[in-house]
Amino acid sequence: MMKKSQILANTIKNQIEQNIWLSGEKIPSIRDACKRYKLSIETVLQAYQQLEDQGYVRSKPKSGYFVLPRRNVFTSEHTQQKAIKPYPVKISDLLYDVLQRAKDPSIIPLSSAFPDPALFPHQALSRSLANASRQMPDNSMLTNLPPGSETLRRQIAQRYQAGGLDVLPDDIVITSGAMEALNLCLQSCTEPGDLVAIEYPAFYGVLQTIERLNLTAVEIPTDPTTGIDLDVLESVFASMDIKACWFMTESQNPVGYSMSDGNKQRLAELVNQHKIPMIEDDVYRELHVGNQSSLPAKAYDTSEQIMLCGSFSKSLSPGFRIGWVVARKQALKIQRLQHLSTLSSSIPIQLGLSHYLTFYSYDNHLKKLRKLLNERKKAHIALLESSLPKSALIHKSQGGYFIWIELPHSVCVEKLYELALEQNISVAPGIIFSSDKKFSHHIRLNCSYACDDKIAEAIRMLGGLIQAMELQANSCS
- 348 with 371, same domain: the answer is no
Contact between 445 and 427 under an 8 Å Cβ cutoff? The reply is yes
Which pLDDT score is estimated for 140?
64
Q: What are phi and psi of 69, to 5 degrees?
A: -60, 140
Domain end residue (candidates: 362, 382, 417): 362
4-17 vs 41-53: helix crossing angle, rounded to 10: 50
- 21 with 166, same domain: the answer is no
Helix (H) or strand (E) holding 378: helix 362-387
Which pLDDT score is estimated for 144?
63
Specify the range with the lowest mean pLDDT, choosing from 135-149, 238-252, 345-359, 387-401.
135-149
For the stretch 175-186, pLDDT in tens is 999 999 999 999
Q: Please list, in sequence order, all residues whose beta carbon lies within 8 angstroms of the beta carbon of residue 460, skipping any fewer than 6 positions away.
A: 383, 387
What average pLDDT does range 449-475 have in this prediction?
91
Residue 280 β-bridge partners: 247, 308
Please spell the DSSP secondary structure of 193-226, one letter per residue.
T-EEEEEES--HHHHHHHHHTT-EEEEEEEETTT
In whole angstroms, what separates CA 182 from the centre of its chain? Answer: 14
Number of domains into which the chain is organized: 3
Which pLDDT score is estimated for 73?
39
The CATH number linked to 433 is: 3.90.1150.10
Q: Supply the mean pLDDT for the chain.
A: 89
Q: How far is CA 304 from CA 300, 326, 330, 356, 428, in A?
A: 10, 10, 9, 31, 35
Buried (b) or exposed (e) across 437-450, using 16+ Cβ within 10 A? Answer: ebbbbbbbbbbbbe
What average pLDDT does range 446-462 have in this prediction?
96
Higher pLDDT, 421 or 89: 421
The CATH number linked to 35 is: 1.10.10.10
Which pLDDT score is estimated for 2?
67
- Does the pLDDT value for residue 239 go beyond 90? yes
For the stretch 79-116, pLDDT in tens is 444 668 787 788 878 999 999 888 899 999 999 999 99
- 13 with 31, same domain: the answer is yes
Q: What is the DSSP letter of 242?
A: E
Domain end residue (candidates: 362, 394, 412): 362
Which pLDDT score is estimated for 115?
95
Q: Please list, in sequence order, all residues whose beta carbon lies within 8 angstroms of the beta carbon of residue 143, skipping any fewer than 6 positions away.
A: 137, 150
- 142 with 277, same domain: the answer is yes
Three-class secondary structure of residue 304 per DSSP: coil
- Alpha-carbon span 205 to 466, nearest angstrom: 27
Three-class secondary structure of residue 420 per DSSP: helix
Higher pLDDT, 199 or 408: 199
- 166 with 287, same domain: the answer is yes
Q: How far is CA 324 from CA 114, 160, 208, 224, 277, in A?
A: 18, 13, 19, 28, 17
- Does the pLDDT value for residue 71 go beyond 60? no
For the stretch 189-202, pLDDT in tens is 999 999 999 999 99
- 420 with 410, same domain: the answer is yes
Helix (H) or strand (E) holding 308: strand 306-311
Which pLDDT score is estimated for 250?
95
- Residue type at 386 in one-letter notation: S
- 389 with 446, same domain: the answer is yes
Which pLDDT score is estimated for 112?
94
Q: Of 458, 453, 413, which is closest to residue 434 (Cα–Cα)?
A: 413
Contact between 348 and 133 under an 8 Å Cβ cutoff? The reply is yes
Contact between 226 and 194 under an 8 Å Cβ cutoff? The reply is no
Three-class secondary structure of residue 88 per DSSP: strand
Domain around 352? 120-362
Q: What is the DSSP letter of 108?
A: E
Contact between 45 and 88 under an 8 Å Cβ cutoff? The reply is no
- 151 with 173, same domain: the answer is yes
- 340 with 389, same domain: the answer is no
Q: What angle do CA 456, 457, 458 make, to 5 degrees?
A: 90
- 250 with 261, same domain: the answer is yes
- Does the pLDDT value for residue 252 go beyond 90? yes
- 175 with 268, same domain: the answer is yes
- 269 with 326, same domain: the answer is yes
Which pLDDT score is estimated for 139?
65
Which pLDDT score is estimated for 79?
47
Contact between 195 and 242 under an 8 Å Cβ cutoff? The reply is yes
For the stretch 289-339, pLDDT in tens is 865 678 999 999 999 999 999 999 999 988 889 999 999 889 999 999 988
